A and B are shown apart, each in its own frame.
Chain A
Amino acid sequence: MSTTAAPRLAAAAVETPFRRFCSQFAESKLALFGLAVFAVIAFIAVFAPWLAPQNPYDLAQLDIMDGRLEPGSVGGSGMTHWLGTDDQGRDMLSGIMYGLRISLLVGAGSAIIACAVGASLGMLAAYAGGRTDTLIMRLVDLQLSFPAILAALMILAFLGKGILNVVIALVVVEWAYYARTVRGSALVERRREYIEAAQCLALPTRRIIFRHLLPNVLPPLIVVGTMQVARAIALEATLSFLGLGVPITEPSLGLLIANGYEYMLSGKYWISFYPGIALLVTIVSINLVGDQLRDVLNPRLQK
């Protein structure tokens, strides 16, 4: 007979924020593809020792007579080198798999450390306010206005080569992004009323931080973090290519590409080409994921 006069509540299935996030993320087929590709790459990197047909750094297994073979050719030991060999006779495919390990290790590792450092400083700045805040933000501005490659070069020039030094350089270059992002979110959240309410309730500060602040600081941090990992991997590759990064004993993809530089002009493209493809695919897949994350987690687009 009569329908209710009051407006009906939108009947929705119980939708947790996480579920909504997943379904929104999945809207981009490209991002899903990127995620899948990256999962494969991460898998290869982690399990390289078991997956690679050859351990390229076991000198005993190498035969220099196998050097510079074309992709698809068969080496002296009867092994098919699907992606060819480099000048030392190392199997490119294996080299790439091991190289992925180093690249990902350095890239992700530096990003995590930079995140820890940057986020802490950002939180500190937001909470301490005043001079501490100004000082930290000035440092951030200084760091951000200086081109990353130059800063890294200078640091490595003075520290010397090596994986640890590369990580240090990357951390110095990256921390500022995290600090700025976290400080921004923390400032906004800090002023929100529920923090005041929680403080009125005399909740312990730690609980305020973990239960209330973190869930709101996390989304932009995740976006920045993802893009930063890609940047770090690219930067490390560039530094290694220039000869200022990882040592020859543990080559990353960048160093592999550098190794092939001199053979480019004589047409032996595969020594540089395939590691580059691997690097490219890694970075692009991370960026695809990061792009969609940014669109999904952007509060302004959450209409």
Chain B
Amino acid sequence: MANGHPTLELRNLRTHFFTRAGVVKAVDDVSFSVGRGKVLGLVGESGSGKSVTGFSIIGLIDPPGRITGGQILYQGQDLARLDEEGMRHLRGNRIAMIFQDPMMTLNPVLRIDTQMIETVLAHEKVSREEARQRARDALGQVGIASPDERLRAYPHQFSGGMRQRVAIAIALLHKPDLIIADEPTTALDVTIQGQILAEAQKLCSQFGTALIWITHDLSVVAGLADDIAVMYAGKVVEQGPVDQVLDAPLHPYTAGLIGSVPSRNHRGAALRQIPGMTPSLLNIDAGCAFRARCPRAEIRCAEPPPMAEYLPGRLARCIHPHEEAVAA
């Protein structure tokens, strides 16, 4: 932990979008922390607010949205209160982000070396040759062979997996303290996905980079993360060490998610699903947002449930979590 603080700590973060149709509470009271070299899996369905959380951390929330409350403590410093120039110095430098769709993340009309060198030069005064060398090294680190040839190429000449590796290489150029990966393997083949995951893990342990891996895929999280935070309708509904949470979930939503993974199904048995649909973020229930779909819903759920620590290090936003887990 650098200077006694975790690499990143979110406290009661709120990011709202003020649209014509109403206020969208995309992120509504989210708190978690990530330590040095640790991997946090941020899990949720589309619309749960996980991507917006990632963008909030790196400060790329555009109007009509803005951070309306809470703190984003990066090594103790509150990013939510930092001005744009300050944020710019951190982005790509100490805090990097990898996006979901490698096709559109790299600018199609600029060469790879241009896009990498500019990242280096944006934060450090080195010569172009030195920057190019760094780019070469970074490509080598992510396992891209013949980097010189690759550097002079354009993004469309790469496959999806390669492009994502390049994106990771770019993220690593300044050896950041924190990397936010927003569903980086969703658009890729499963085999490539595995490779990228392995790379990511290796790099984190090697450099002590904290990693927030945003995904909707539990299986990815299972193999990669140290901790997991499950998001639903803008709130974190459960968090804790990944093995414990996946083995014995507290929150009914987490249980539902785990249960609905097809591979966990017995052949011949009906696939299990969580009934209902994700709520529109414009019309979130005043009480527990999961209430409408929860098999355990009762009258008391009309009150918003607080986040409670049922077991050491394990929190859940539910008033009647799964007893087996608690009992265990």
Interface residues of A (CB under 8 A from B): 2-3, 5-8
Contacts and interface: CB of A to CB of B under 8 A. Distances in A.
B69 interface: no
A5 B299 contact: no
Interface residues of B, number: 10
Given A2-B299, A2-B302, A7 B286 contact: no
B292 A5 contact: yes
A7 B280 contact: yes
Nearest to A8: B283
B279 interface: yes
Given A5-B292, A7-B292, 9 more contacts: A2-B299, A2-B302, A3-B285, A3-B286, A5-B285, A5-B291, A7-B280, A7-B283, A8-B283
15 contacts: A2-B299, A2-B302, A3-B285, A3-B286, A3-B302, A5-B285, A5-B291, A5-B292, A5-B297, A6-B292, A7-B279, A7-B280, A7-B283, A7-B292, A8-B283
A26 to B, nearest CB: 16
Nearest to B283: A7
Contacts of A2: 299, 302
Contacts of B283: 7-8
A105 B280 CA distance: 53
Interface in B232-285: 279-280, 283, 285
Interface of B, secondary structure class, is: loop
Interface of A is mostly: loop
A3 B292 CA distance: 11
A188 to B, nearest CB: 26
Contacts of A7: 279-280, 283, 292
A164 B33 CA distance: 79
A185 B292 CA distance: 42
Contacts of B279: 7
A214 to B, nearest CB: 31
A1 to B, nearest CB: 8
A2 B285 CA distance: 11
A298 B292 CA distance: 37
Q: Which 8 A-B pairs have the closest CB atoms?
A: A5-B292, A7-B283, A2-B302, A5-B291, A7-B279, A2-B299, A8-B283, A6-B292
Contacts of B297: 5
A2 B292 CA distance: 12
A2 B297 CA distance: 12
Contacts of A5: 285, 291-292, 297
A2 B303 CA distance: 10
A6 B280 CA distance: 12
A27 to B, nearest CB: 11
Nearest to A4: B292
A7 B281 CA distance: 11
A41 B299 CA distance: 67
Nearest to B299: A2
Contacts of A6: 292
A8 B292 CA distance: 12
Most chain B CB neighbours (cut-off 10 Å) among A2, A3, A7, A8: A7
A3 B291 CA distance: 11
Contacts of B286: 3
Nearest to B284: A7
A6 B291 CA distance: 10
Contacts of B291: 5
